[in-house]
Amino acid sequence: MNLSTVKVGVVRLKISRRTFLSIVGSAVGAAAVYSWAETLRIEVTRLKLDLGLKLAFLVDTHIHFFGPVEEQVLKLLYREDPDVILHGGDIIDEYTRGLEPVKEYFSALDAPKKYAVLGNHDHWSNRIPELSAVLRRECGFQLLLNDVVEVSGWRLFGVDWRDDREYPLINDVDIVLAHDPNVSPQVRGARLILAGHTHGGVVVGGITVISNSIYTRGLYPLEDRGILYVSRGLGQILPFRPTSPLELVIIE
C-alpha cells in the first residue's frame, strides 16, 4: 500500500469558549466526585505468606473524626479477627483537632497485640508526647520507634520516620513495619516490609503519574529483602484520592 494514498480524517469541531469551559468544568467536576468517592470505598488486600498468624495492616488513617470509614474498618476487623494489628503511621496530621476520635477508634481496634510506628504527619503535628500516651495508655498500642519486639517467634522491627529519609541499615529481623517505603533499600534479610505514606499515588492505565516514593503501591519483590507491600492506606488529609481507593491489608 502506498502510504501517500492513506487519508486520515480529521474532524474539527467548532465550539464556543463557553462550551469548551463548560466541558472542562464538567470533566474536572466528575473527576473530583470520583476522587471523593474513593475516600469512602475500602478494598481488602490479602497476602498469603504462611506466617502462622494473621496480621492486619493499617496505615495513613489521618484521623480527623470517627466516621463511616472508621466504622467500616472496625466491622471488617471484627470479621477478620487478626492476631496482631499493625499501624504504619500518619495516625493523625496537622488538621487533627483533638485526640478523642483516636481514642474512640483505636481503643476499639481489637486484637491481642497492637503495634504502631509514627509517620511524617504524626511528627509534624507536634503532638507526639500526647499521641504516644493516648496510644499506649488508652488504646493498648505499643509504639515501635526503631525498636524490635518478638511476635509469635517473628522479630518485628518498627522504623521511625526521618525527614531526611536517610535510614540506618536494618539487619536480623523478619518483619519491618515502616511508614516510609524508602526504608526498603536499607533492609537486609527480612521476609516482609510493610509501608504506606504514598496513599497509592496517582496511577493511570498502569502508569504512575504522581508518587512521593520510588515505591508507589502494591507488592514489590526485593532481592534478599523479601517482599515490600505499600498500602494505599485508610485516610487522607484532603478528601480526594484520585485512582486510589482505601485499603486494608490482611497478611497470613
Which residues are at the interface with Fe ion (CB under 5 A)? 60, 90, 119-120, 197
Let me know how long the chain is.
252
- Minimum distance of Fe ion from residue 224's CB (angstroms): 27
Which residue, 41 or 165, has its beta carbon nearer to Fe ion?
Answer: 165
Measured at the alpha carbon of residue 233, what is the angle toward residues 235 and 124, in degrees to the nearest 5? 65
Report the half-sphere exposure of 52 (CA within 13 A, side-chain side).
4
Which residue, 40 or 49, has its beta carbon nearer to Fe ion?
Answer: 40
The rounded distance, in Å, linking the Cα atoms of 59 and 90 is 7
- Minimum distance of Fe ion from residue 142's CB (angstroms): 20
The rounded distance, in Å, linking the Cα atoms of 122 and 252 is 28
Strands 142-143 vs 207-210: parallel, antiparallel or unpaired: unpaired
Which residue, 113 or 158, has its beta carbon nearer to Fe ion?
Answer: 158
Which residue, 151 or 176, has its beta carbon nearer to Fe ion?
Answer: 176
The rounded distance, in Å, linking the Cα atoms of 246 and 205 is 18
Which residue, 60 or 174, has its beta carbon nearer to Fe ion?
Answer: 60
The rounded distance, in Å, linking the Cα atoms of 185 and 175 is 14
- Minimum distance of Fe ion from residue 246's CB (angstroms): 12
Which residue, 53 or 239, has its beta carbon nearer to Fe ion?
Answer: 239
Contact 246, 233 (CB under 8 A): yes
**What residues contact residue 146 under an 8 Å CB cut-off, 6+ apart?**
157, 158, 159, 160, 168
- Minimum distance of Fe ion from residue 211's CB (angstroms): 12
- Minimum distance of Fe ion from residue 235's CB (angstroms): 7
Which residue, 90 or 160, has its beta carbon nearer to Fe ion?
Answer: 90
Can you name the residues that pair with 178 across neighbouring β-strands? 159
- The CB-nearest residue to Fe ion is 90
Nine-digit cell at 194?
510493610
The rounded distance, in Å, linking the Cα atoms of 88 and 91 is 8
- Minimum distance of Fe ion from residue 152's CB (angstroms): 28
- Minimum distance of Fe ion from residue 191's CB (angstroms): 24
**What residues contact residue 85 under an 8 Å CB cut-off, 6+ apart?**
55, 56, 58, 77, 109, 111, 113, 114, 115
